[in-house]
Amino acid sequence: MNTPFRSSPVHADPGVATAEQGVVMLDGPNGVAVAMTPFAAEATGQSLIAAARTAREQPDDAS
C-alpha cells in the first residue's frame, strides 16, 4: 500500500473540545479551530475513533 502524501506534520498532541452556547469548539495543534453543531461534533468524534482504531492496525510510516 502506498503511503499518502502528507502536506503537514503529524501531530501527537490531542485537540481540546469545549461547549459554548450550544456550539462545540475544537482547538487543535497549530492554531486549528473548528466550530461545530453538537450533531457534527458527535459524528466527527465517532469517525475519529473509528479511524484511530484502523490506523493502529496499519504500519507506522510517519517516522
Q: Residues 37-54: pLDDT tens digits?
A: 999 999 999 999 999 999
Q: How confident is the model at residue 1 (pLDDT cuts 50, 70, 90)?
A: very low
Q: Would you say residue 63 has pLDDT above 60?
A: no
Q: Which three cell numbers stand for residue 35?
A: 466550530
Question: For residue 30, what pLDDT is reported?
Answer: 86
**For the chain, how far is it from start to end, CA to CA, in angstroms?**
17
pLDDT, average across residues 21-27: 98
pLDDT, average across residues 3-22: 86
Q: Would you say residue 19 has pLDDT above 80?
A: yes
Taking the CA atoms of residue 18, residue 13, residue 6 and residue 4 in that order, the dihedral angle to the nearest 10 degrees is -90
